[in-house]
Chain A
């Protein structure tokens, strides 16, 4: 690992000012950055730790029924949070899929998202929760929807000095589920990840949200599939059509892990299965 200057600011404004500088990296849980620095794929001249800034960690149930999740919340805390397990099951399940317990005790949800891997395990759950992302900088704050955050693999709309502070989940689902297509039970990356969240009224789907990871340059919502579902009963035939529509929305690549054809086929299969389970949980 190359040497670097280490900073532990206690305010967001100071962290943002430091982060806006040349060759600066933010340190949250460190599970990506420290490994990258060892491999020399990351060679920052300054590393800015966020752990001394108060108010960035924790899961809070708000009075209006929404849930807010601080960016520095450990993935393990999200996995074990009763509020998230109940109202955003897909997100809790996604958190459980990351690395090992030792890694989940370090890794943060802000890091998992800011790293902008299309295969991040918490991202599909955030997509189907309609998560709003609070972003701070020395100049002020702004909020974007999670589906506007990513621009490509490892790329986001975040400007120099901007720091994700919080995810707000306004939209509790009556049933949601996440499936990670993988080989190993633990310590594996997703071939693909599929989350589905549904709200039902009297047997009719009033809202459906489908989030797909690792099947396009960025995580995506399968909006055509969602539109097919809304206003209809979740019959086997309809869920099959939704699976096909989700597969059509994907644009996966072939890599050493599996082929694009396999990925697209599995989007179809796993979208149907996540929907079935999400509906069963209502």
Chain B
């Protein structure tokens, strides 16, 4: 099957690639570009470990064909820190210990970042519901939620 030329804009860098249409965005990010911060969990869209931000929207990258992401702005966990400073969500996860094995963490952080960009002013219940597409197999939800609520406060006060 013919490979397709795509131009991916990931974390501000451009990658001109020739990829097979059957490669998911997740596979292109990890295997072709080498950005392995984004994780492959269930690979059926149920667990949220592969969450990245495309054009400002959190999406499960395991469900996206890489060829359809050409020319779109993509942000992965590697692109969150700027000038050596962690994003408030990243720092909040460290401060509260919002991770155990860490496998779900990039997905949780990217999903949370998109939520805070959209509207940090949500109740705990609303954050819980909005993060229903992310699963932590270690079941560390209490600390994860604490991290997100702290990050929301941080984002609101610095805005």
Contact = CB atoms under 8 A, between A and B. Distances in A.
Interface of A: 1-6, 8, 27, 29-31, 34-35, 37-38, 47, 49, 51, 76, 99-103, 105-106, 184-187
B72 to A, nearest CB: 10
B48 A100 contact: yes
B44 A101 contact: no
Given A102-B58, A102-B60, A103-B45, A34 B133 contact: no
Contact of B57 (A8, A38, A105): A105
Contacts of B68: 8, 27, 30, 49, 51
B22 A102 contact: no
B24 interface: yes
B2 A103 contact: no
B65 interface: yes
B4 interface: yes
B58 A4 contact: no
B129 A6 contact: no
A105 B43 CA distance: 17
A30 B63 contact: yes
23 contacts: A1-B22, A3-B1, A5-B2, A8-B67, A27-B65, A30-B64, A35-B44, A38-B43, A47-B21, A47-B65, A49-B67, A100-B48, A100-B134, A101-B114, A101-B133, A102-B133, A103-B60, A103-B63, A105-B54, A106-B60, A184-B132, A186-B133, A187-B133
Contact of A2 (B4, B22, B43, B48): B22
Given A3-B20, A34-B65, 11 more contacts: A3-B22, A4-B21, A5-B21, A6-B67, A30-B64, A34-B24, A38-B44, A101-B58, A102-B58, A105-B59, A185-B132
A101 B130 contact: yes
Contact of A4 (B22, B24, B43, B46): B22
Interface in B1-26: 1-2, 4, 20-22, 24
A105 B65 CA distance: 15
Given A27-B65, A27-B68, A102-B48, A6 B4 contact: yes
B75 interface: no
Secondary structure at the A interface, as helix, strand, loop or mixed, is loop
A4 B44 contact: no
Contact of A102 (B1, B21, B45): B45
B51 interface: yes
B48 to A, nearest CB: 6
A164 to B, nearest CB: 19
A99 B131 CA distance: 11
Contacts of A49: 65, 67-68
Contacts of A51: 68
A76 B132 CA distance: 15
A63 B132 CA distance: 38
B111 interface: yes
A34 B46 contact: no
A6 B65 contact: yes
Given A6-B65, A51-B68, A99 B133 contact: yes
A39 to B, nearest CB: 8
A34 B132 contact: no
Most buried by A among B51, B67, B132, B134: B132
Contacts of B115: 101
B111 A30 contact: no
Nearest to B54: A105
A259 to B, nearest CB: 25
Contacts of B65: 6, 27, 30, 34, 47, 49
B22 A187 contact: no
Nearest to A188: B132
Contact of B45 (A2, A35, A185, A186): A35
Given A6-B67, A27-B68, A102 B59 contact: yes
A186 B45 CA distance: 13
Nearest to A52: B68
B132 A106 contact: no
A36 B58 CA distance: 22
